[in-house]
Structure 1
């Protein structure tokens, strides 16, 4: 244990040195770090340290929204570096932004540049060593140069973190050291971006390095607050965690994606690195590297969730906690549906479907890493730490007599039993309904110059060239309709439509939405499609496309975006049977059922499929004109 100095807060909490002590990995999102750092360090972490070893993974901090967060500011700074050189941008004080001259001054050494083999400090500081003596921190204003606006963006990042430090850190010595760390990292970043500007290029890996600064700053802030509150902590930067022999293209498959072996080895390396922090509480950057082909390209912006998942696997954690600003996963978006209820337990497949179709839960690939090791994921609320949240857990293995299979781990049994009881209470009801807005439907009719397989091949090749992900699709021999997210800029979208027209006439429907009903209880459930479509018919909501996968845990349809809130309420009340107090549930009488992906029913009411395509597991391809009475 690092000894305390008389001027620093005494150490009250540490991780246990018992190697058998259970681990909990806690991942905090950027908004949680930005708005609830004090609550995290004063209430949440000490509570779990009483019975567990805790490892913390932080995203780059955000203010009120992600759009105003550090990661977006860093990406903006990287973009500004490639803009034509102009006059210097004034700061908020009206003075020209001071910069480091990359030629006149030595580059400041950032604590994040220390390797994992660097000697550990015997000071109570959460950082691995003290700064090297004589490193300059102050640059005269007279050394300002007419550089582009990325300097002002970096200044904005600095000011936000310094302000957050002053608001949360009470000990003067810890505050002073944190300020020095922030300045060193950001001046190092400034020099790095200046170099990128000289060569007029920000490569994918350079962008990784720039974005990774946000996680380092967030971790240093959280680690310092923890130490200020008497929790022995240590910042762990993962920018060099990938072993040299893994940092090549050997684990990249034909599609350019990293294989599972890479992530398995990385999980082992993460676990070993964190265990060496004992008894300090590790505060880990969500960014890791260097990754073959770039972290952002391989993983995307959700890399912090993946880091926490791999760390949970490497530590064989008893639980992975994802801390957000909501109580967990709800039956619908509570901001849109006031009667939405918290779901205590949900399966990974259900969570993946909800994520894909509009709900921000957790990326399916991240879930896969921990669920395959039977580690539960719990979604928790930083504003309500004692709430139970939502647990994402695999479907329990059940023997023929209905008991939990004997190959379950001992600590799995209680949760599996609770899951069975919960499912029994919600027997034969869907789990949740979600809406994905800003959808465009593209319909292409073949010009019959190619056979059906050639027609579809050309369509998908065109979509691939533009990097378009199709959410729903309906096909026949001569017609294809696709629901995609309206995320392309107009010039790019116009080029996409122009290229698709080479295969035949194209129609575009904008302002649409995908309505999805999700639940594993829907498997082989006769009549659920009838209830869903009947409710929409009664609400006079038109359906453009229908899709049901072979797994039968999701039924989706495309509707007009203007009907999205009304449709959510109708399905939430009718299919999930959750309604406002005093309002009776609406029931639709089924004459002939809907099962196994086949639509063969009649409803009391009228539903118009608007001559739209109908697709799903077990359905015959083609167009269906349907007027049901």
Structure 2
């Protein structure tokens, strides 16, 4: 004999019930079956609502009853032929009238006792099981209905009655010993006390009913049919990459169900475990799927962790004080007072010093627990031996579960390290002696991030998901997104990095998609996005609280650069080509670096100097390895190098500067490049990364621009001034030719002094043949004395700058 239980979603409506009929009738060809059914979806909730309304003298309870009635009458009309409906409709009407009478009594009395509540809640299963039994009878006459209340007997603990197994097992065994029908339909969840008063087995108790029956009849297996393909490695509604678990032990399943895996009601396992009856969790809507097989078989697994689960709405209560140290019975008193107030303790941890005890309970019990504990320890609190208990709400317990975890070292460290890297603060930790479970209490807002991060680490072949928030999608930003789109598959397959662009923003519009923006048509989607707002953008990034988040700044905006601290404090990495932050006041630069270290949030800005060239990264390795930079000589402006390489007798200075802007080599405001400010910022960043405390005011800027050009306040006036002062630039060119030199804008740092300015470069200099938009940097260090370490290559342009940003993003992924 097999016992099959179908949950609320499986019997939500007539269409779903037809699927149940097909599954059961197909299995009945081979085995005798007991079919336990839940109430229709949401009906139990409606019964709770109706009883509460009635108890509060709200006549709208009648509308709820009408909704319940309609749901069941509609099911009859679809499942049973018209000629056979009369008897069923009359029976349902009688049950509904009985329900209405009970609720009228609650309305008149203005109260709802636990006993009455249990009676009212039982109507959901009574209605559904009757209708389903009638539907079976239309297709298979070898079928009968049996009221569970006649077989399962409990105490009078209304709401979650305790089963009397001695009496119940005897009644169940006797009934099925004499029952010859192939299919028996039974309601789940409901029972009767020994003195025949209606009770219930707790929400989710239909699973328990099925397990009690299965154990009593020594069934070959217990099948739990729901709307998912078994137990998952994590909650699939929160962790999209969660996978069904093929096989699992009773103990592992019990741990996962206790910690929120709602596919299985925790008490279900105990009755069948004693009889070694396997449980199979199946999907009514995908009956061919394997599901999850639960047994006591020792199946070897490469992954010691079977699943990650969680319990929400947890409060942490801490009782501490010197008056507990060495005092016998403190723990007993604490747990005794909680037991007396019917408060279930979910989590326990105690300091080895005995100075404090920390427990986790449900939020709804927190106030009651606080008052009860403070009253129990009132004398010690008054004597300042023990502090009044501390209550922290809006927490969550997360747990790693696995039978073989005890045989693997370092799992706890791996778990906590993974959470720490994503700035998930752990409030308390507990691990059972069986080492089958490692639990931690965290903030409720971090649950999604924590579950996804842990699942990624333990179940996804170490594939790391990076969530990007991109501000600035002009020339460089567009190239950056193109490169991500192009390389996305390669990165996932070869580097185990899954890149998702969660948000993009330009100066007009911004777009957010928590599941990742499609990079095929992101431009048109952005145009239909919401109006751009920097503060709203920042708050959205924080609110999403996604793991491995990276803010990518591809602007030259000072206001945006001032937002970095907000991201770093939230453990959100910052990747930027915007030079303003790192060339701002030294205290601010230093502060951002400190935040990066404190909150374990990478702050990378390789493209601040040399676009895609590995200048800063190389410099960091030199310093980290103990070398010291003594001198830097560099051409750091790709735009200025392009301008002076193309400025000749045939191309005016004005036209070349215009062309540099068209090709995206200059900043939107070209005076930033031509005034030397941009180069000064770059050399300043290199000096700081070399370990020197320096500010922009310490750099001598020898400008080659006439004062009139420098004084302009907009691009139009600036370009006009270039035409007006054409002779000045032509004279510079003539002087360079006369000296057989080339014009290069050079940055220098030596002996604690720095300068930037236009220089006449002779033929023997390595800077002389620097073509196009190339940059070159020479580092003279303690190790590179006579021959400098030289880095040379393209130092401007949208594609190379985007590639530099991309490289920084990959660096974050590899940290």
Query: TM-score w.r.t. structure 1 length?
Result: 0.66
* 1:301 match: 203
Written as runs of structure 1 = structure 2, the 5 A alignment for 1:189-228 is 189-194=99-104, 203-228=113-138
Provide Cα deviations, 1:86-114, integer angstroms capped at 9, x if missing partner.
Answer: 7xx4xxxxxxxxxxxxxxxxxxxxxxxxx
Matched, 1:51 2:24: no
Q: How far apart are the structure 1 equivalents of 2:333 and 2:450?
A: 35
After TM superposition, the structure 1 stretch with the greater mean CA deviation from structure 2, 186-195 or 371-380, is: 186-195
Q: Which of 424, 428, 432 is matched with 1:549 structurally? A: 432
Cα offset for 1:298?
Answer: 7.5
Matched, 1:453 2:338: no
Provide Cα deviations, 1:10-65, integer angstroms capped at 9, x if missing partner.
Answer: xxxxxxxxxxxxx1111111221114533434421122112111211111111xxx
* 2:484 match: none
* 1:363 match: 265
Cα offset for 1:316?
Answer: 1.9
Matched, 1:30 2:18: no
Provide Cα deviations, 1:508-567, integer angstroms capped at 9, x if missing partner.
Answer: 322222121110111131111121122122222222211111001111111222222222
Written as runs of structure 1 = structure 2, the 5 A alignment for 1:586-597 is none
Q: Which of 46, 56, 62 is matched with 1:73 structurally? A: 46
Cα offset for 1:583?
Answer: 7.0
Q: Which of 237, 244, 253 is matched with 1:351 structurally? A: 253
Cα offset for 1:500?
Answer: 7.1
Cα offset for 1:377?
Answer: 0.6
Cα offset for 1:216?
Answer: 1.4
Q: How far apart are the structure 2 equivalents of 1:346 and 1:216?
A: 33
Larger Rg: 2
Matched, 1:506 2:506: no
Cα offset for 1:327?
Answer: 0.3
Distance 1:538 1:329, change over 3 A: same
Query: TM-score w.r.t. structure 2 length?
Result: 0.52
Matched, 1:440 2:440: no
Matched, 1:163 2:65: no
Q: Which of 152, 156, 164 is matched with 2:63 structurally? A: 152
Matched, 1:561 2:444: yes
Cα offset for 1:269?
Answer: 1.6
Judge conservation of contact 1:321–1:377 (CA < 8 Å) in 2: yes
Q: How far apart are the structure 2 equivalents of 1:366 and 1:52?
A: 22
What is the SS of the residue equivalent to 1:38? helix
Cα offset for 1:454?
Answer: 4.2
Judge conservation of contact 2:155–2:162 (CA < 8 Å) in 1: no
Matched, 1:186 2:96: yes
Cα offset for 1:72?
Answer: 2.6
* 2:357 match: 480
Judge conservation of contact 2:313–2:362 (CA < 8 Å) in 1: yes
After TM superposition, the structure 1 stretch with the greater mean CA deviation from structure 2, 329-338 or 545-554, is: 329-338
* 2:493 match: 582
Higher helix share: 2
What is the SS of the residue equivalent to 1:218? helix
Provide Cα deviations, 1:293-314, integer angstroms capped at 9, x if missing partner.
Answer: 9989783223322211121123
Superposition RMSD in Å: 3.3
Q: How far apart are the structure 1 equivalents of 2:318 and 2:139?
A: 59
Q: How far apart are the structure 2 equivalents of 1:456 and 1:266?
A: 36
Judge conservation of contact 1:572–1:578 (CA < 8 Å) in 2: no
Judge conservation of contact 2:424–2:450 (CA < 8 Å) in 1: yes
Q: How far apart are the structure 1 equivalents of 2:412 and 2:390?
A: 28
Provide Cα deviations, 1:231-254, integer angstroms capped at 9, x if missing partner.
Answer: 643221133335xxx7779xx9xx
* 1:263 match: 165
Q: Which of 430, 440, 457 is matched with 2:305 structurally? A: 430
Judge conservation of contact 1:446–1:455 (CA < 8 Å) in 2: no
Q: How far apart are the structure 2 equivalents of 1:282 and 1:431?
A: 35
Q: How far apart are the structure 2 equivalents of 1:296 and 1:354?
A: 30
Q: How far apart are the structure 2 equivalents of 1:521 and 1:533?
A: 19
Q: How far apart are the structure 1 equivalents of 2:255 and 2:155?
A: 33
Matched, 1:395 2:305: no
Judge conservation of contact 1:76–1:150 (CA < 8 Å) in 2: yes
Distance 1:308 1:478, change over 3 A: same
Matched, 1:470 2:345: yes
Matched, 1:527 2:437: no
What is the SS of the residue equivalent to 2:347? strand
* 1:592 match: none
Count residues with an aligned counterpart: 461
* 1:571 match: 454
What is the SS of the residue equivalent to 2:357? strand
Q: How far apart are the structure 1 equivalents of 2:197 and 2:87?
A: 30
* 2:39 match: 60
* 1:614 match: none
Q: How far apart are the structure 2 equivalents of 1:72 and 1:571?
A: 33
After TM superposition, the structure 1 stretch with the greater mean CA deviation from structure 2, 465-474 or 344-353, is: 465-474
Q: How far apart are the structure 1 equivalents of 2:438 and 2:173?
A: 40
Distance 1:607 1:183, change over 3 A: farther
* 1:282 match: 184
Judge conservation of contact 1:344–1:388 (CA < 8 Å) in 2: yes
* 1:115 match: none
After TM superposition, the structure 1 stretch with the greater mean CA deviation from structure 2, 499-508 or 339-348, is: 499-508
Q: How far apart are the structure 2 equivalents of 1:607 and 1:354?
A: 34
Q: How far apart are the structure 2 equivalents of 1:176 and 1:325?
A: 32
Distance 1:549 1:298, change over 3 A: farther
Higher relative contact order (Cα pairs below 8 Å, separated by 6+ residues): 1
Distance 1:275 1:79, change over 3 A: farther
Q: How far apart are the structure 1 equivalents of 2:355 and 2:325?
A: 9
